[in-house]
Each structure stands twice: as C-alpha cells, then as structure tokens.
Amino acid sequence: MKISIIGTGYVGLVTGVCLADLGNDVICVDIIKEKVDAINEGKAIIYEENLEEILNKNLKEKRIRATTSINEAVNHADVIFISVGTPSRENKAIDLGYIENTSCEIGKALKEQNDYKVIAVKSTVIPGTTENVVIPLLEEFSGKKAGKDFGVCMVPEFLREGRAIYDFMNPDRIIIGEYDKKSGNAINELFKNFSCPILRTNLRTAEMIKYASNAFLATKISFINEIANICELKGIDVNEVAKGIGLDKRIGPHFLHAGIGFGGSCFPKDVSALIASADENGYEPKLLKEVMELNERQKLWPVRKIKKIFSDLSNKKIAILGLAFKGNSDDMRESPSIPIINSLLKEKCKIYAYDPKATENAKKIFGNKINYCESVDECLNDADACIIVTDWNEFREIYDKFNLMKNKIVIDGRRIIADPEKCKKLNIKYYGVGYKNE
Ligand SMILES: NC(=O)c1ccc[n+]([C@@H]2O[C@H](COP(=O)([O-])OP(=O)(O)OC[C@H]3O[C@@H](n4cnc5c(N)ncnc54)[C@H](O)[C@@H]3O)[C@@H](O)[C@H]2O)c1
C-alpha cells in the first residue's frame, strides 16, 4: 500500500519504518528539515533498538523516504497517518495546535486530489477530537465530504518507547476507530496480516480506549508504589508482594514494578489531559488526580532518602546513574531525573551523571549545572552517594564498581540492582524502593 505519515517523531518514524519493512511504500513528513534530511541519510533521529538498521535497509530498497512537503505526501498515499505531537497546555489540557495545522494542510492538499484516500489519526487525542476538530477542518479546507470523497479513521498507537519496533510488529491488539465501514476496511487491509485481535469501533471509542489504557497503566504504577512505601515501613520487600499478587489471574504480573514513578511523553500528559477533559465536562476524576499526585511525590523518593542519611548535603558529590525516563531510551520528557537533580542542586550538591544514551538531551535541560560522565566508573568515582534513576540493564550487577565511591551508599530508585542482599555482604549501604532493610 502507499502510505504517508505526517509527523516523524517516535510514533511517526517507527510506524513509517515498520510499515516500509512490511513491504509498503512510505513517505514520512516533518516540518523540521533537519529531521527529514537525517532520515533520508539513514540516521534515526531518536534512539530505538534496531530502528536505524531497518531504516537503512528500507532506504536502500527504496520503500521509504522523507520530505517536508505535505502535498507530495498526500498525493502519494492511499492512507495518510497523522502522528504529530499532542502536548499539554499550561493548564494540562491537550494542545491540539499541531493536529489543527496538520488537518488544514492535509485538507488543502486533498482539494487537488481525485482519488479516495483515508486519513487516519494516530496521535493520542481526547475523545471527540477526530469528529469535532479533524473532520470539520479536512472538509473546510478540501471542499470535500468525509465518508464520501475521503475516509477517516482513528488508529491509536500503543507502542512503548525502548521497545517500539517490537511493540509495533507484535501488538496485543489493533484498534480501528472508523467514521464509516469503507474507511475502516482500508485500515483493516493494511493490518490484515497481524495475528493479534483487531477491534473495530467508532472514532470516539477508539480515542477513549487509548486514554483508558494509559490511565489504567499509570494507576497500576501508582498503586504498587503506594504499596511499596507501606512495605518499607513494615520491613517487607514489595517485589515479593508484587509476585504474590501478580499470580492472581484477576490482577496479573505486569506493571507491578515499584520505583520512582512514571515519566515520558505519554502517561503524565495523557492522564492529565483526561483529567482536564473530565473536569471540563463537569466530572471530577478523583482517582486519576490521586494517581498523578502520588506520582509526583514518588519521583522525589530518593531525595527524601538522601536527606535522612546526610544532615547537610552541601558540597556532597552525588552520582546519578541514568537520566532518561526509562531504560533503552534517550527520552528525557518528564523524567524523574529532572526534579531529583533540581532538588539536589538546591541543596548545593555536586552532581555527576551518567546515561548511556540520554546525555545530549539532558544537556538541553541542565546545561552546565551538572557534570556529564562517560561511564559508570567515572560517575561513581569518589561519590558520597549514588542514586539509580533509570532502569538500564548495565546497572544491574555493578557491585564492584561501588568500591570506587567515597561512601558506599546506593539509593536504588528502580530496584534494578539484581541482588540487594549481596550489597549487604559487600558492606554497601543499599536503599531500594519498597525494600525491607530500611
Ligand atoms: N512516544 C510514544 O511512546 C507514544 C506512544 C503512543 C502514542 N503516542 C502519541 O503519538 C503522538 C506523537 O508522539 P511522538 O512522541 O511521536 O511525538 P514527537 O513530538 O516525538 O513527534 C511529533 C513530530 O511531529 C512533527 N510535526 C508537528 N507538526 C507537524 C506538521 N504540521 N507537519 C509535519 N510534521 C509535524 C514534529 O516536528 C515532530 O517531529 C502524540 O499524540 C503521542 O501522545 C506517543
């Protein structure tokens, strides 16, 4: 099939590269020329395992290219995906500016077209957006009619950063929200060889499924973090508790890993947008508000811990292992490292940080206020304490490296250290979220 993807960020680039790899003819569009040039040169603009290799393979086989021209992309495609950002406004409600601009641009380009094309929203948008914002703009600027001259779908994306290629290729389900049957059939055709269930719904149900999924997952995280905080007070290891409750089929084992909260570009923004939207409609979503509040509090768990250990933090050298919001990613959006480091800077700590992939993005946030290290060893050297912020695999078994520290104090915000008991034997003072020996 001929596909165009408007907006080439995490979702757009991964979608484009994977659909090309499945044999489709793909054009990726972005307004940022540097991103477009980089893609055409075979450089993935984000870090995601295998992304660059698959991009290069498909560039070579001429199944993918990038452009800044929406006209060219609309002209090319049978199906046009919209995957531009939907950030938060200052009041935390969804900002639909990019969606509106893209809808106008696609509408203008559609005006010149005679073929039937389907426009599919992949961005996460508040229920009602495709019907009340996207379709009216497409119709106004094209002078054509949805459901007659062109098709419209809403196909939410569920990929996880850090495992994006795998998730796109192996989804648990595909949700096709359709304006009408003909639109839905076109998207169904594109995904027909996937072995997962395909659920076809109306547009606003598909939009809500995405929000409800993220809200539920965020709730699960805040729930296990709350249990972790109680476990700590009672001398219980939350990981054993999580294992015990996860064996109940009604609960399930996934997403019960206690830590310092969720970040990234999706959970915080999507739960906040759902809260704002419910409030606007006159319903106060109390549970979701608590989920967000708990998460904000949890991010500062390591700071509370370290303040209990040192009565005065000024001039203490603190090693920060991990800056990205999660392992296998270079994404710093809403990363707990940001409030943690800012709080420690206020206490006049000297920060030495190491992340295998996110350093360049972190520099845009912290500038020269912190020191960036090139290895775990450099980071830990002579440190008064270490805080593990990101669950990078390479931090799992670094017991020997803690010998490089001035004080062997390890604050594990992700419960990533494989064997906390071994730390005890090696005279390492270990503190983990929801860990018993506190
Ligand atoms: N990142 C994730 O893990 C993830 C997962 C599922 C869903 N989503 C949703 O997908 C959407 C995109 O997320 P993302 O993380 O890829 O965003 P992103 O910010 O990484 O990328 C968006 C891209 O769109 C481009 N853009 C903006 N306006 C444009 C226009 N008029 N024409 C062409 N390009 C334009 C931007 O330059 C940017 O490169 C959001 O709604 C997000 O909530 C994200």
pLDDT tens for 93-147 read: 999 999 999 999 999 999 999 999 999 999 999 999 999 999 999 999 999 999 9
Can you give the pLDDT at residue 45? 86
Q: How far apart are CA 344 and CA 339, in angstroms?
A: 9
The average pLDDT across 35-50 equals: 94
- Name the pLDDT band for 393 (thresholds 50, 70, 90): very high
CB within 8 A of 14, min separation 6: which ones? 48, 51, 159, 164, 165, 168
Q: What are 79's strand-pairing partners?
A: 3, 118
Q: How far is the centre of ligand 1, averaged over its atoms, from the C-alpha of 87 (Å)? A: 9
Can you give the pLDDT at residue 116? 97
**What is the residue with the minimal CA distance to atom 7 of ligand 1?**
157
The average pLDDT across 231-247 equals: 97
- Name the pLDDT band for 161 (thresholds 50, 70, 90): confident
- Name the pLDDT band for 438 (thresholds 50, 70, 90): low
CB within 8 A of 295, min separation 6: which ones? 218, 221, 222, 225, 261, 262, 268
Residue 1 has pLDDT above 70, yes or no: yes
Ligand 1 neighbour 102 (Cβ under 6 A): yes
Atom of ligand 1 nearest to the CA of 98: 28
Question: 266 an active-site residue?
Answer: yes
Q: How far apart are CA 376 and CA 297, in angstroms?
A: 27
Atom of ligand 1 nearest to the CA of 156: 7
CB within 8 A of 113, min separation 6: which ones? 74, 75
The average pLDDT across 198-205 equals: 98
Distances (CA, A) of 54 to 43, 229, 313: 11, 42, 47
Can you give the pLDDT at residue 436? 83
**What is the residue with the minimal CA distance to atom 13 of ligand 1?**
85
**What is the residue with the minimal CA distance to atom 10 of ligand 1?**
123
Can you give the pLDDT at residue 156? 98
Residue-averaged pLDDT of the chain:
97
Can you give the pLDDT at residue 162? 87
Query: Is the separation of the CB atoms in 161 and 335 below 8 Å?
Result: no
Can you give the pLDDT at residue 437? 63
H or E element in which residue 412 lies: strand 409-412
Per-residue pLDDT reduced to its tens digit, 46-91: 888 899 999 999 999 999 999 999 999 999 999 999 999 999 999 9
